[in-house]
Amino acid sequence: MRIGILALQGAFTEHKIMLEGLGAECFEIRQLKDLYSGPVNGLVFPGGESTVMDKLLRESGLFSPLRGMLEKGIPVLATCAGLILLAEKKEDGTPPCFGTLPVTVRRNAYGRQLGSFQETAPFEGIGDFPMTFIRAPLIVSAAGQVKVLAVTRRYEMTQGISQEFPAAVLWQNQLAMSFHPELSGDPSVHAYFLNMVQNAASLSEGRPA
């Protein structure tokens, strides 16, 4: 399996280390030519600054071909800022980037970097997983067909209540989460993603010409 990792900005190296440790071949996507350097079985959109990534995607010419790949169903793992790139809507009303994942997100909802935290919670198909949140976006809502794989509890200061919000979601071949699984030391989420990639490849090979 050959996985392309968006490397315009952000925490992409940790994803590469995690995936290569599981036996995947990885390459970094910085320029348009990188997309055509060989087969691409899956994509990773890492954490970082979503506004900077959006700008660089468009300036580099990567936006349109990557969106085309997403629309054709290539498996993608998106974390933190990567989730924002996929989200169909942003709560502040600013235009979406790819807009292929039917969720609404709120940027930097969990506070500044000094307010980062880790919470261990059940992740469907994996078990308990240590979720690290760093200036994380909040998944405010998800369409009915989106599967919620993990939730977190966030204290709502305005309402004085503790409420569950999705922390990891799956829709078609798009796996996205607010937290950073690459910082956990636990490869389970990346193994889950590689299984998605393998299943997608098997289905593709089984299709009639």
DSSP string of 73-90?
T--EEEETHHHHHHEEEE
DSSP string of 16-27?
HHHHHHTT-EEE
DSSP H or E segment with residue 169: strand 161-171
The catalytically annotated residue of 26, 80, 97, 190 is 80
| CA–centroid distance for 18 within its chain | 15
The catalytically annotated residue of 14, 15, 26, 182 is 182
Is residue 207 classed exposed, middle or buried when 0-12, 13-18 and 19+ CB atoms within 10 A define those classes? Answer: exposed
Is domain 2-206 given the CATH code 3.40.50.1860 in the classification?
Answer: no
Strands 117-123 and 25-29: unpaired
Q: How do the pLDDT tens digits run along the chain, 209 residues long?
A: 899 999 999 889 999 999 999 999 999 999 999 999 999 999 999 999 999 999 999 999 999 999 999 999 999 999 999 999 999 999 999 999 999 999 999 987 765 554 578 899 999 999 999 999 988 899 999 999 999 999 987 655 445 566 789 999 999 999 999 999 999 999 999 999 999 999 998 887 755 43
Question: Known binder of ligand: residue 58?
Answer: no
- Tell me, yes or no, if 180 is annotated catalytic: yes
| CA–centroid distance for 56 within its chain | 18
Question: Known binder of ligand: residue 5?
Answer: no
CA atoms within 13 A on the CB side of 190: 26
Question: Known binder of ligand: residue 67?
Answer: no
- Tell me, yes or no, if 91 is annotated catalytic: no
